[in-house]
A and B are shown apart, each in its own frame.
Chain A
Amino acid sequence: MPARLLSLLFLGTAALLLGAGGARAQMAADTSITAPPVAPPLKTNSPLYHLTYDPKLDIPQVGYREGDTSGAVFFIAHRAIDTDGGQGFGWLRKSSDDRDDGTWFALQEHPGLAVAPFRKLKTRDGDADWEYKFWGHYATYKAYDPHLDELLPVFVLQGYEVIGQTAPLRQPIGPPGRPHSRPSGASSRSSNPIQGGGGID
């Protein structure tokens, strides 16, 4: 067999075996940077407009109500800040439950109807250990907290009323089974390793 034919055969085979990977390397070189467009102006009276321009408070206003607070059944929410970096809202319990029987939960807001009380404050943690009456329901799905690789039950907020500030609860912060005194991990903004498997199903 002529050497040239052999070479061609070999080169052809190599090209086929490399396949998409070779083309891929060429494609990856093109980064095609473009400038993103400017966002359209905010709609007046939209939730984002109010969030941006309404004056902010230092602490919640006792007795303030927002959204649909007409139902006879409500929950008690105790705001707590997760020092491990998680984004749970705090504890939630039925109004008939003991004070320390709450469930660590994620809050699903309803922009345009009722949003997290801290949206009215100068800082997101300005309502630590404040309590609220919450109207709404638990969702059928769970929320994934990427900061701690945890799943939390979700409460869909329909309305709330500010009760007032209370003493901190004795419960450990976070969902059941969280290993405590671990560093935050798994975040898209953190490079720490995942420290535990709490909440994954």
Chain B
Amino acid sequence: MRLLSLLLSLILFGSLAARADTGEHVVLTGGPALRFMEHGKDASHDFYWFNFVDASTIWLKQIKSTAPAGDLVTWLVYRPSYISRSNEMGMDLVSQIAGKAKELGVTLYWFDTKEQLINYLNKGQDRDKIKITSFDYFGHSNKACFLFDYSNTIDTMSIAFLHVVDLKHIKAHDFARDAVCKSWGCHSGELYSKWWKDEFDVAMIGAIGKTDFSHGGLPALSDANCRWSQ
């Protein structure tokens, strides 16, 4: 009995020690297409300019309400696409996003390049002490890539993206061993999740098939043939 008690105490102590440092919850948000680029297409994307932002804020709100006290909640947003969509619409979307972050009480960091994003993940916090305990991506994607810019600078293409071959630049050390990661974009579960797991030894839930952001809330799987995987 004494041995059992000692064993349980060790497990408990180990668990507490593993959670002793502050965790960081990262929500990564890509940008919308320009309507100019998508005009007239059969599959026209991003009628709603804040489809990814709204989904992100819903999720951030839930994180804020469930995260352990003291954990950091960080929102990383690809800025250039919101600037150009702002210009197209005659609205200041960038200020609106900043206002949403302030209202939610989360820390907003803009990024303009893949390198800035990677730099934040690796060096934005002291990763010896502050591990990423959850990671969520809202944005365009295919199975091999997160597309932060899509059909915004160049019709149907991307100039800012995080391809699976770029994952090697992000350190596995950034993530907690029990980090919970998810891509809410299309097709990530078909390849990206595998590379993510191989690179960081952390699972990432991703969609087999397409996800649909068009209703303005959290994205749903597009049809009955789609499913989440990791």
Contact = CB atoms under 8 A, between A and B. Distances in A.
Nearest to B48: A36
A24 B23 CA distance: 15
Contacts of A12: 12
Contacts of B49: 39
Contacts of A40: 89-91
B178 A34 contact: no
Interface in B26-84: 34-36, 39-40, 43, 47-51, 54, 58-59, 62-63, 66
Interface of B: 1, 4-5, 8-9, 11-12, 15-16, 19, 23, 34-36, 39-40, 43, 47-51, 54, 58-59, 62-63, 66, 88-91, 133-134, 140-145, 147, 150, 153-159, 161, 163, 165, 178-180, 185-187, 190-191, 208-210, 214-218, 220
B66 A200 contact: no
Interface string A88-124: 0000000000000000001111010001100000000
B145 to A, nearest CB: 6
A97 to B, nearest CB: 23
Nearest to A30: B62
A10 B153 CA distance: 55
A198 interface: no
Contact of B187 (A21, A141, A188): A188
Contacts of A180: none
A167 interface: no
A23 B210 CA distance: 25
Contacts of B8: 6, 9-10, 13
DSSP class of A's interface residues: helix, strand, loop or mixed? loop
A108 B153 CA distance: 7
Q: Which of A10, A39, A107, A116 has the most CB of B within 10 A?
A: A39
Contacts of A51: 36, 39-40
Contact of B159 (A24, A111, A147, A154): A154
B144 A36 contact: no
Given A27-B63, A33-B217, A200-B163, A188 B140 contact: yes
A187 B142 contact: yes
Given A16-B19, A87-B156, 14 more contacts: A13-B8, A16-B15, A19-B19, A20-B134, A20-B178, A30-B62, A32-B58, A40-B89, A48-B35, A143-B157, A143-B158, A189-B43, A194-B144, A200-B165
Contacts of A141: 159
Contacts of A30: 58, 62, 218
A31 interface: yes
A17 interface: yes
Interface of A: 1, 6, 9-10, 12-13, 16-17, 19-21, 23-24, 26-27, 30-37, 39-40, 43, 46-48, 51-52, 87, 106-109, 111, 115-116, 141-147, 149, 152, 154, 186-191, 193-194, 200-201
Contacts of B23: 20
A6 B8 CA distance: 8
Contact of A145 (B63, B141, B157): B157
A31 B218 contact: yes
A106 B142 contact: no
A27 B66 contact: yes
A34 B54 contact: yes
Contacts of A24: 134, 180
B190 A36 contact: no
A24 B88 CA distance: 37
Contacts of A107: 154-155
